Amino acid sequence: MARPLLPDDLWAAIAPLLPPHPPRPKGGRPRVDDRAALTGILFVLRSGIPWEMLPAEMKCGCGMSCWRRL
């Protein structure tokens, strides 16, 4: 099995440093989970693929969502 891009111990160190979610008074599309977005960011940075080609199978949202969160 492949080693995960974002192990649990690394996520435990990073999660408290992330800012809280901004309020969304008008609703809108649900926000991508912080851990999933960070996994997508790490995948793109490690592999060198364009943001638009982030695989949907990773369940990290679209590449543009991850790019904006970066």
Tell me: the pLDDT tens digits for 2-55? 678 899 999 999 999 999 988 888 888 888 999 999 999 999 999 999 999 999
pLDDT band of residue 56 (cuts 50, 70, 90) is: confident
pLDDT in the model for residue 11: 94
pLDDT in the model for residue 45: 93
Is pTM beyond 0.75 here?
A: yes
User: Does residue 69 contact residue 35 with C-beta atoms inside 8 Å?
Assistant: no
pLDDT in the model for residue 53: 93
Residues, the chain, total?
A: 70
